[in-house]
Amino acid sequence: MKTKQELNQFLKNGLKENLKELDKARISLIPIYKTHKLINKVFFTVMGILGAIIIVPCILMLINTKLEIEILKELTKMWSAGGIKLLRFILEHGEIYHAVILFFIAGAVLYLYTKKILFPYLKSMRAYISKYKVNVTKPIFHFIDEKWRYSAMKGIDESEYKKSGFALKKHDSFTSKNLLHGHFGDVEFKTSNIHTKYVKEKDERRDWYTIFQGLFFTAELSEAFHGEIFIFSLDSLTFNGLRNIKSQTSKQNFDFAVTTNEEFNTTFECTTNMGNEFDKVINYKVIKTLLKLKECYNKELQLFITGQKIYLSLAFEGEIFEMPKITDGLIDIDRITTYFQTLQLIENLVGELNTQPKLVG
């Protein structure tokens, strides 16, 4: 991997031509973006007023008048027969049904807004996001290691995520994208953005809640460990589901383990079935690397080592190289360098763990 200084130099000079092309697209979108934001405010204000005008008369109508079933049936028949009869009926009975007229006006306004403003804006934004990934994200990964393969729309399979034992809470939605596939030395790895959510339904309403969002990493070591180790930060969901770890990972008995590093012990919890071999695997270098990884985003971190496999999850919000707002510039250098530092630390962790089975076995 390249150094942080080399990356900064590349961001300043190597991406210059790509950023010029991207900036042209960004500048052309700024008027559309601002117009969309302004129209959004006006539109929802107007719709709110129209909503009040429609809803209030309807409530008063239900309270003060008897809307007979026969009239409703007549309206339904007219709707089936054709719009002209229905319109004539509404105009003749405006003192009762003026709310219906306003309803159709609001529907027409909503249709025009969606077709003429919202959809074109979303289409332009999707094109810009795609250009951003081609002009920024992909070249950065190629610069770090030209043998790495990056795919914006692909991700690690859900089945692979479930093997990690991190999914203690059942999820109803699983999204995986920004797949990065490569090697750290002779160790093959994959990493991608993962977002899992669960849904709550109440009174025909569906509310979605995030379980985990962030980086998911998996690698296969050259040799296998004879046992399993589960490490997780105390702010992770796994901490609450600790008693389920045995059923999620192995049928063998797991014991809590502590290290000689007090900071590590107050940040992470460990469980293993490797007995005294645990200290040989989770040595000083591994401990320091995990502590630094935790500092990168200061959110939940989980590590599972089983056989030849390593699974690691690191929570953070948004995407790997989240695109700044159209009006805020082209790239977020701090976010990019933080992710680069994360990759460097993971490479160090994998390199150190890859030597351990020879010592432990």
Q: Residues, the chain, total?
A: 361
Q: Which of 311, 306, 281, 346 is nearest to 224 (CA)?
A: 306
H-type alpha helices, 10-93: 16-64, 69-81, 83-92
CA atoms within 13 A on the CB side of 187: 24
Does 308 map to a domain? yes
My answer on whether 95 and 225 are in the same domain is no
State the DSSP H helix or E strand holding residue 229, giving kind and residue range, or none if neither: strand 228-233
| Residue 92 burial by Cβ neighbours in a 10 Å radius (0-12, 13-18, 19+) | exposed
> For residue 233, which phi and psi values (nearest 5 degrees)?
-70, 155
Establish if 224 belongs to a structural domain: yes
CB 221 within 8 A of CB 355: no
Structural domains in the chain (count): 2
Residues 118, 173, single domain; the answer is no
Q: Quick one: 167 and 70 in the same domain?
A: no
Q: Are residues 252 and 330 in the same domain?
A: yes
pLDDT of res. 68: 46
> Is residue 10 in a domain?
no
pLDDT tens over the chain, length 361 residues: 788 889 888 888 888 888 888 888 888 888 888 887 787 777 677 666 666 655 555 555 544 444 444 555 555 565 555 555 555 555 555 544 555 666 677 677 778 878 877 888 888 888 888 888 888 888 998 899 999 999 988 999 999 999 888 887 788 999 999 999 999 999 999 999 999 999 998 877 888 999 899 999 999 998 888 888 999 998 876 545 444 444 444 445 677 888 889 999 999 989 888 888 888 899 999 999 999 999 999 999 999 999 899 999 999 887 777 778 888 888 888 888 999 999 999 999 999 999 876 555 5
Domain contains 131: no
Q: Quick check: is 9 in a domain?
A: no
Among 91, 13, 105, residue whose Cα is nearest residue 51? 105
Task: Report yes or no on 133 lying in a domain.
Answer: no
Q: Please, what sign has the CA dihedral across residues 288, 292, 298, 302?
A: negative
Whether residues 83 and 232 fall in one domain:
no
- What lies within 8 Å, CB to CB, of 286 at 6+ separation is 349, 352, 353
Residues 255 and 352 in one domain: yes
Scanning the structure block, which residue is given the tokens 């409530």? Answer: 59
Given 67, 92, 124, which residue is the final one in a domain?
124
Residue 165 shares a structural domain with residue 259: yes
Strand partners, 212: 196
Which uninterrupted H or E stretch holds 156? none
Residues 201 and 83 in one domain: no
pLDDT for position 123: 87
Tokens representing residue 50 in the block: 């129209």
Helix (H/G/I), strand (E/B), else coil: 244: helix
* Residue at a domain's end among 90, 124, 158: 124
Q: Kindly state whether residues 113 and 201 are assigned to the same domain.
A: no
**What's the pLDDT at 87?**
53
Task: Check whether residue 110 and residue 166 sit in a common domain.
Answer: no
User: Are 80 and 222 within one domain?
Assistant: no
Q: Does residue 142 form part of some domain?
A: no
- Domain span including residue 235: 147-360
Q: Does residue 140 lie within any of the structural domains?
A: no
In a shared domain, residues 181 and 260: yes
